[in-house]
Amino acid sequence: MPDDHHDATLSGERLETWSTLATLLEWLPPALDKALQPSGLTHFEYGMLYALEHAPDLTLRLRVLAEYANSGLPRLSRALDRLEKRGWVRREPDPEDGRSTLAVLLPAGRETLRQATPVHERNVNRLVFEQLTTAQATELREACRRILSAIRDEDGWSPPSSS
């Protein structure tokens, strides 16, 4: 008889857990987008501005930004088009590698991010952390890390160090 932990059947508690997780994965992004609408950002775009804000010289190669955003270059390019039209970022050739393009965060983009961050943080706290005990938040983080390591060998995005 297979070990229950390694049983591949999706039924009972496993199906209930999976359906809850799958629903969360579908519902959370639009909920994050909705709170950011007044700032003119989607959660995806907010993440791009955040990554640029924490990059050296407010600049990243598009390939690196795409990796941070878990995005293909076409999706990233469409989002950058929107951000460029608003005057929040610009693209420029990489002087160190002519085949690469850089994304640069502009002052207006930094200001948009500065204004959107408290709204985003309140929303994340309301939707996630206020629903969990400290122990549950720790368990969630560890469970997510285990799932992420099953998907990819490399580390995912992690917040910049506070030092």
**pLDDT at position 70, please?**
87
Q: What is the mean pLDDT of the chain?
A: 90
* Angle subtended at Cα 159 by Cα 129 and Cα 20, rounded to the nearest 5 degrees: 40
Kindly state the percentage of the chain with pLDDT values over 90.
77
| Burial group, residue 110, by CB count within 10 angstroms (0-12, 13-18, 19+) | middle
8-59 pLDDT per residue, tens: 788 999 999 999 999 999 999 999 999 999 999 999 999 999 999 999 999 9
**Among candidates 94, 88, 29, which has minimal Cα distance to 62?**
94
Q: pTM of the prediction?
A: 0.85
Q: DSSP string spanning 42-67?
A: -HHHHHHHHHHHTSGGGEEEHHHHHH
The CATH number assigned to the domain with range 39-151 reads 1.10.10.10
What is the C-alpha separation between 101 and 84, in angstroms, rounded? 14
Residues 129, 137 contacting (CB under 8 angstroms)? yes
Q: What is the mean pLDDT of residues 130-147?
A: 95
What is the C-alpha separation between 29 and 148, in angstroms, rounded? 18
Please measure the distance between the N-terminal and C-terminal CA atoms of the chain and give it in whole angstroms.
Answer: 51
**Among candidates 158, 160, 157, which has minimal Cα distance to 70?**
157
What is the dihedral angle through the alpha carbons of 69, 73, 77, 80, rounded to the nearest 10 degrees? 20
Q: What is the mean pLDDT of residues 75-104?
A: 94
